[in-house]
A and B are shown apart, each in its own frame.
Chain A
């Protein structure tokens, strides 16, 4: 059962990921990205990360991407124009990307130590209880710091986005 699910959702993830890059219209890219996130959430579930999967849906798909779509609708951003294509990025970029891919592939083949396997339900350490417990005991300080970070982000966003009074 597991390999089936993995292959299915991995395929969806990759296909939609490619779609994010290929689509000309931001909205299409955004929705494909939502699809990627959803399928990743399923993959998290397969690995027993219930809480994170749900958080992925709520935070990423439910909040962040909605924000993206909101902004796209607000700016009424049309499809990206293809004129004035800067060749520099292509000439240097494509080789760089291919190089990155090759390097990753090669070293994952050779350098990766022997890893185990994932079967649904063979590890139940990712429930809300465990995550919450770890979060509020040994990771308490980082957690608080992130809350401060969020606060800073909120203030910054407001300052940036509000109209200059003059």
Chain B
């Protein structure tokens, strides 16, 4: 018995302690509890569960109690660990620990210190639930929980209007996705009569393909909501209102990848619904390109990385869509490394520039914050797919798979890769090269913030070598055989990345007027891209306004005020009328009431006895 319940429970205890007592505890104690609990569960995963569960086909499965039992439909609180879960566990707890450590430095001067860490631990609890779940319902519990924590943490600076609205936006948009997921679960229950993974996946091949397609598409809706895919990606950029560690942990490394995890967890269903697979691939690809183009024009450093996250998630979905689940998971892992690093580095930069987020007011930081510069360079290399870095392997795996599926997808992917390299390095140059354009004097971040960055830098450089995910997962998702063009494709994607880097170097270091010129030349198109294709405005016009109008006009004024209130008041007046008559028999004398009760019970007993009700 590996006491799987311990893994989520430890962060939860941390949440309880910090949440209840945090106001009184000193910062040191809060740090100890928050970091310690997550670290403990990481160690439990890495040292106890990891080694002891042999990596064969048999997976750990633990049933704790039956949560819902209605008829022959049972949902238990079950946890299960297989290799996929194991990888996710390592990512979540490992990176979670690093980011907790980082946050102790980053949040040092913030108010609501204990609140922040309580939320963070709660998030860890739900995320681990999501990953450990052995059936869709428990997964959904975690799914909703992380959504809640994301909402809480985006709106952490609740005194900022923009933060609270961003939180609401994230929450509401996610509801749309969760609706899809819930529908998918209903369909699953109807089709398979159970929500546990094992029976569902064993029965799935036999099920009618239409049902499977429907289920898969609905799941995709859910995944798109959580993982910020078209058309539900709009919440993620705004989510950057939250503190940077949150952006790194929730909106880059772990939560947003839950969709990818869910899809590859349900690989069996998707594999038997080819149409759905294509939709997934297309959406992934579209999102990748789309977000990349937006990323090019942004000046807020966190926004840049946010859009890059969206586009990288698009990559993962592309991988899932073309059937290369292991490649998707691999990219998920490497992305967790370098994107967490990018965000934390950005946090360190912002910290260095006294809270400045606009890259036009940065620059020349490489001599003020050398360490940050170095680690960010590692991350940018990784995301640009520089040969040997972690990003290179995973991205290449996805692109190869895409090529086998349909060559044009590969080419679009390559272009996107180029753009990715371009805007990431654009951000890099604008931040670290040239002259410092900001106010005050920038300074390097403390060691407690830098140490996790260095660990992550090592991981994002060497992650590809260290963990060859397709190799690990090969008995879940069979490896694809080598194809002849492999090396050529590799060369092309690498070239794209290098070209992107070179272009950014030319435009933002050598010849700095060029970008302005290009912008003017493009004119309207540039402005369109610059304000994100005006998608938010479109949504407002198309959905939000009508909803508000409709609800106020129809629901409130007619239905609520007219019908419901009328009915209620009518009932009330009727009751009063009847009461006026009935009150006459109320003597107010308790003993007479008692007498009535007894007399009534006597009657009942006699009736029942005569009717033989006693028998």
A105-129 CB mask vs B (1 if < 8 Å, else 0) is 0110011110000000000000000
Question: Quick check: B605 and A107 within 8 Å, CB to CB?
Answer: yes
Question: Quick check: B591 and A89 within 8 Å, CB to CB?
Answer: yes
Q: Which residues of chain A from 50 to 93 have any CB-CB distance to chain B below 8 Å in the complex?
A: 86, 88-89, 92-93
Report the stretch among A33-41, A96-104, A143-151, A154-162 that lies at the interface: A96-104
Least CB separation from A93: chain B residue: B595
Given contacts A100-B601, A100-B602, contact A110 B595 (CB under 8 A): no
Question: Quick check: A113 and B615 within 8 Å, CB to CB?
Answer: yes
Question: Quick check: A92 and B609 within 8 Å, CB to CB?
Answer: no
Q: List chain A residues, Cβ under 8 A from B615.
A: 111, 113
Question: Quick check: A88 and B606 within 8 Å, CB to CB?
Answer: no
Question: Quick check: A103 and B606 within 8 Å, CB to CB?
Answer: yes
Least CB separation from B614: chain A residue: A111
Q: Output the least CB separation between B52 and chain A (Å).
A: 29
- With the chains together, A99 CA to B604 CA distance in Å? 12
- With the chains together, A89 CA to B594 CA distance in Å? 9
Q: List chain A residues, Cβ under 8 A from B599.
A: 92, 96, 99
Q: Which residues of chain B from 556 to 615 have any CB-CB distance to chain A below 8 Å in the complex?
A: 589, 591-592, 594-595, 598-599, 601-602, 605-606, 608-609, 612, 614-615
Question: Quick check: B592 and A110 within 8 Å, CB to CB?
Answer: no
Q: Which of A86, A103, A111 touches B602 (beta carbons < 8 Å)?
A: A103
Question: Quick check: B592 and A88 within 8 Å, CB to CB?
Answer: yes
Question: Quick check: B598 and A96 within 8 Å, CB to CB?
Answer: yes
Q: List chain A residues, Cβ under 8 A from B606.
A: 103
- With the chains together, A112 CA to B594 CA distance in Å? 27
Given contacts A89-B595, A107-B614, contact A96 B609 (CB under 8 A): no
Q: List chain A residues, Cβ under 8 A from B608.
A: 107
Q: List chain B residues, Cβ under 8 A from A104.
A: 605
Question: Quick check: A93 and B609 within 8 Å, CB to CB?
Answer: no
- With the chains together, A99 CA to B597 CA distance in Å? 12
Given contacts A103-B609, A107-B609, A110-B609, contact A96 B602 (CB under 8 A): yes
Q: List chain A residues, Cβ under 8 A from B595.
A: 89, 92-93, 96
Question: Quick check: B609 and A86 within 8 Å, CB to CB?
Answer: no
Question: Quick check: B609 and A111 within 8 Å, CB to CB?
Answer: yes
- With the chains together, A56 CA to B550 CA distance in Å? 61
Least CB separation from A140: chain B residue: B65
Question: Quick check: B592 and A92 within 8 Å, CB to CB?
Answer: yes
Q: List chain A residues, Cβ under 8 A from B609.
A: 103, 106-107, 110-111
- With the chains together, A104 CA to B608 CA distance in Å? 11
Q: List chain A residues, Cβ under 8 A from B591.
A: 86, 88-89, 93
Given contacts A88-B589, A92-B592, contact A99 B602 (CB under 8 A): yes
Least CB separation from A108: chain B residue: B614
- With the chains together, A65 CA to B200 CA distance in Å? 57
Q: List chain B residues, Cβ under 8 A from A103.
A: 602, 605-606, 609
B318-338 CB mask vs A (1 if < 8 Å, else 0) is 000000000000000000000
Q: Output the least CB separation between B467 and chain A (Å).
A: 42
Q: List chain A residues, Cβ under 8 A from B614.
A: 107, 111-112
Q: List chain B residues, Cβ under 8 A from A111.
A: 609, 612, 614-615
Q: List chain B residues, Cβ under 8 A from A100.
A: 598, 601-602, 605
Least CB separation from A137: chain B residue: B65
Q: Which of A93, A110, A112 touches B598 (beta carbons < 8 Å)?
A: A93
Q: Output the least CB separation between B589 and chain A (Å).
A: 7
Least CB separation from A91: chain B residue: B595
Least CB separation from A89: chain B residue: B591
- With the chains together, A129 CA to B608 CA distance in Å? 38
Q: Output the least CB separation between A104 and chain B (Å).
A: 7
Q: Output the least CB separation between B132 and chain A (Å).
A: 22
- With the chains together, A151 CA to B608 CA distance in Å? 38
Least CB separation from A104: chain B residue: B605
Q: Output the least CB separation between B319 and chain A (Å).
A: 44
Least CB separation from A107: chain B residue: B609
- With the chains together, A10 CA to B592 CA distance in Å? 30
Q: Output the least CB separation between A59 and chain B (Å).
A: 25
Q: List chain B residues, Cβ under 8 A from A113.
A: 615
Given contacts A99-B602, A103-B602, contact A86 B589 (CB under 8 A): yes
Q: Output the least CB separation between B411 and chain A (Å).
A: 59
- With the chains together, A100 CA to B606 CA distance in Å? 9
Q: Output the least CB separation between A103 and chain B (Å).
A: 5
Least CB separation from A112: chain B residue: B614
- With the chains together, A159 CA to B64 CA distance in Å? 40
- With the chains together, A104 CA to B605 CA distance in Å? 8
Given contacts A106-B609, A107-B609, A110-B609, contact A89 B598 (CB under 8 A): no
Least CB separation from B597: chain A residue: A96
Q: List chain B residues, Cβ under 8 A from A106.
A: 609
Considering residues A92, A110, A112, A113, which has the most beta carbons from chain B within 10 angstroms of its beta carbon? A92
Least CB separation from A100: chain B residue: B602
Least CB separation from A92: chain B residue: B595
Q: List chain B residues, Cβ under 8 A from A96.
A: 595, 598-599, 602
Given contacts A99-B599, A100-B598, A107-B614, contact A89 B592 (CB under 8 A): yes
Q: List chain B residues, Cβ under 8 A from A110.
A: 609
Q: List chain B residues, Cβ under 8 A from A92.
A: 592, 595, 599
Q: List chain A residues, Cβ under 8 A from B602.
A: 96, 99-100, 103
Q: Output the least CB separation between A147 and chain B (Å).
A: 18
- With the chains together, A96 CA to B591 CA distance in Å? 12
Q: Output the least CB separation between A78 and chain B (Å).
A: 20
- With the chains together, A142 CA to B599 CA distance in Å? 32
- With the chains together, A113 CA to B615 CA distance in Å? 6
Least CB separation from B601: chain A residue: A100
Q: List chain A residues, Cβ under 8 A from B612.
A: 111
Q: List chain A residues, Cβ under 8 A from B592.
A: 88-89, 92
Q: Output the least CB separation between A140 and chain B (Å).
A: 8
- With the chains together, A96 CA to B606 CA distance in Å? 13
Q: List chain A residues, Cβ under 8 A from B605.
A: 100, 103-104, 107
- With the chains together, A104 CA to B602 CA distance in Å? 8
Considering residues B595, B606, B608, B614, which has the most beta carbons from chain A within 10 angstroms of its beta carbon? B595
- With the chains together, A99 CA to B598 CA distance in Å? 9
Q: Which residues of chain B from 285 to 332 have any CB-CB distance to chain A below 8 Å in the complex?
A: none
> Residues of A with Cβ closer than 8 Å to B?
86, 88-89, 92-93, 96-97, 99-100, 103-104, 106-107, 110-113
3 A-B pairs closest in CB distance:
A111-B614, A107-B609, A89-B591
| A and B contact pairs by CB, cutoff 8 A, 16 listed | A88-B589, A88-B591, A89-B591, A93-B595, A96-B595, A96-B599, A97-B598, A99-B599, A99-B602, A100-B602, A100-B605, A103-B602, A103-B606, A106-B609, A107-B608, A107-B614
Given contacts A92-B599, A99-B599, A99-B602, 4 further A-B contacts (CB under 8 A): A88-B589, A92-B595, A93-B595, A100-B598
